[in-house]
Amino acid sequence: MKNIQRTLILGCSLVALAGCGADEIVSPGTGGNISVVINNPAPTPTPTPTPTPTQTLVTPAAGCPTINSAGGLTDAGTLSGPTGTYRVCTLPSTVNATDTLPFIRGLLYQISGSTLVGADQGFGTTNNVVTLTVEPGVILFAQGNSALIVNRGNRLVSNGTATRPIIWTSRDNVIGLANDNSQQQWGGVVLLGRARVSDCATGGVNTDEMFAMNPTCQQNLEGSAVTVPYGGNQAADNSGSFTFNQIRFSGFELAPGNELQSLTTGGVGSGTTIANLQSFNSSDDGMEFFGGGFNLRNIASIGASDDSIDVDTGAQINVDTFIAVQRSSTGDSILELDSNDAVATPITARPRTRLQINNATMVERIVGSNAAMMRLRGGAAFGLTNTVMNRLDGTGTHCVRVDEQLVVDNLIGFNSVVCDGGAANQVRGVATAAAAITAGSNVNLNFTITLTDTVVNGTGETGVTAFDANTRSTFFPTRTFIGAVQNAAGLATFQGWTCNSAVFSFGGTGTACTTLPVFS
């Protein structure tokens, strides 16, 4: 249940300034009489008051730009909210030609239903059949089960800047009805590719013996009303570039347990760039990665109702500089990691899921169904370095939950990791897991957290010796601190291109998540 608010405040203040001289008192004269003379100088002109500046509201653009795709953009009239009135241009159901969505002040792009970028190109090697480019500062919105889905063999180039991020959001956000607890107002963004997946809906099973011989293993996108396949054998597949983006209020549920996230990837390859991404109030996971293999840097998952990050189906992922902050009213684990569960059979799906995270700060505020900040299962391989885990719920949530011995066997290692698990809530599950996790250097799961401003290192975190994560992956730089934010100045990495809320504020020049930025 969500509170609906709409506030439009317009105002100005007038300051009137007036001046007068002080009374003058003359001493007694020679005759013994006291003479009092009051001099009132002529008043100076009252200055003209300076009006308090007010924000110029957006006025609608004259019309929709021309694009190459069949049917073009549809002019859907105007839509008004607290920041002004906008021209609404609706995307076609399929972007079937290489196109650009330009930034035009006073114009919003609407996703209505499932907008597909290109047609599925199957398992071939031809890339870049259709590329959709979104310019910095563009705002796209949707409602209900609407989503943007980039099919295999096509690309989305959505590159904002630190001062002009690209915003993907809901209609309620545009008209001023979204609040800091709103969610599930539209679907989300989906990137699909032709890198390997482990669990095959068609094409058989990727086993150890068949791994190099099975190029047609593919899976189907969850949360979609139609069958949308992903996967293949192109490890370096390129689904585009996605930098300096915010995705707000996503995760519409098509059916119980069948929903999208802010960002969902399927079979996305290493040729894809994803960086400087904020998920805000996704009703399911903040972001979920199925299969494929790529790197991410400067990632923020704020207010997710399920896991902040979920990695599954053989994905090979490295995440550097990650902030996760839960809401106090909803959420599950910060991280859920899974791989094929059929670990006891002779035929085991490959590749096994592998995730490494470096320089992260995770703030857990509620006991989820997993009762752990991290849930590791399915025999997935996991490495965690230079990370601060702040367990704020104060009850039975554990730092780490390990479901199977195979996870312990495949553990990459924990190094320079702290968590305030206390004596009783450090590691849950397989008996051998605690010893394996704490065997790493500078691991303390009974740590006293001293973070300031929710995610900025305090004296305790500053005193922990960092691990050289570059020895784990060349994607990770060598740093001298743990956590995502070394000091107050370190927040600048996230400021400007993120939005702020009661859930968590990055500060800086970012707007509130409940309103739209206004770019010139």
* Average pLDDT across the chain, whole number: 87
Choice among 104-108, 153-157, 337-341, 441-445 with the minimum mean pLDDT: 337-341
Segment 109-130 shows an average pLDDT of 90
- pLDDT for residue 256: 66
**CB–CB of 396/371 below 8 Å?**
yes
Q: Which residue has the higher pLDDT, 103 or 35?
A: 103
Segment 286-292 shows an average pLDDT of 96
- pLDDT for residue 55: 60
DSSP state of 6: -
Task: Tell me: pLDDT of 278 over 70.
Answer: yes
Q: Which residue has the higher pLDDT, 249 or 24?
A: 249
- pLDDT for residue 209: 54
Secondary structure of residue 120 in the 3-state scheme: coil
Task: Tell me: pLDDT of 71 over 80.
Answer: yes
pLDDT-derived band at 223, boundaries 50, 70, 90: low
Task: Tell me: pLDDT of 22 over 90.
Answer: no
Q: What is the pLDDT of residues 468-478, one digit of tens each?
A: 999 999 999 99
Whether the ω angle into residue 351 lies within 30 degrees of 0, i.e. cis, is: yes
CA distances from 466 to 8, 267, 388 (A): 48, 33, 11
- pLDDT for residue 395: 73
Choice among 322-326, 337-341, 497-501 with the minimum mean pLDDT: 337-341
Tokens 């927040």, located at residue: 491
pLDDT-derived band at 125, boundaries 50, 70, 90: confident
pLDDT-derived band at 246, boundaries 50, 70, 90: very high
Tokens of 268: 């996305």
Provide, rounded to the nearest whole percent, the portion of the chain with pLDDT above 90.
Answer: 76
Segment 460-466 shows an average pLDDT of 98
- pLDDT for residue 207: 66
Q: Which of 122-131, 336-345, 369-378, 385-394 has the highest mean pLDDT?
A: 369-378
pTM: 0.88
Euclidean distance between CA atoms 96 and 53, whole angstroms: 45
Choice among 83-92, 194-203, 259-268 with the minimum mean pLDDT: 194-203
pLDDT-derived band at 499, boundaries 50, 70, 90: very high
Contact partners, residue 26, CB within 8 Å, separation at least 6:
35, 36, 37
pLDDT-derived band at 260, boundaries 50, 70, 90: confident
- pLDDT for residue 74: 98
Task: Tell me: pLDDT of 11 over 70.
Answer: no
Choice among 112-116, 207-211, 227-231 with the minimum mean pLDDT: 207-211
**Which runs of E-coded beta strand occur in 82-183?**
84-90, 94-95, 99-101, 107-111, 114-117, 131-134, 139-142, 147-150, 155-159, 166-170
Contact partners, residue 339, CB within 8 Å, separation at least 6:
198, 312, 313, 314, 349, 352, 353, 377, 378, 379, 380
Tokens of 137: 């500062």
**CB–CB of 407/436 below 8 Å?**
no
Quick one: how far is CA 305 from the chain centroid? 13
Choice among 46-55, 335-344, 381-390, 422-431 with the minimum mean pLDDT: 46-55
Q: Which residue has the higher pLDDT, 130 or 15?
A: 130
Q: Which of 2-11, 105-114, 251-260, 339-348 has the highest mean pLDDT?
A: 105-114
Task: Tell me: pLDDT of 496 over 60.
Answer: yes
Secondary structure of residue 300 in the 3-state scheme: strand
- pLDDT for residue 126: 73
Euclidean distance between CA atoms 401 and 159, whole angstroms: 36
Task: Tell me: pLDDT of 432 over 60.
Answer: yes
Contact partners, residue 22, CB within 8 Å, separation at least 6:
none
Do the bridges between strand 398-402 and strand 427-429 make them parallel or antiparallel, or are there none, so unpaired? parallel
- pLDDT for residue 208: 61
Q: Give me the residues paired with residue 259 across strands.
A: 253
- pLDDT for residue 35: 35
**CB–CB of 157/133 below 8 Å?**
yes
Euclidean distance between CA atoms 189 and 187, whole angstroms: 7
pLDDT-derived band at 37, boundaries 50, 70, 90: very low
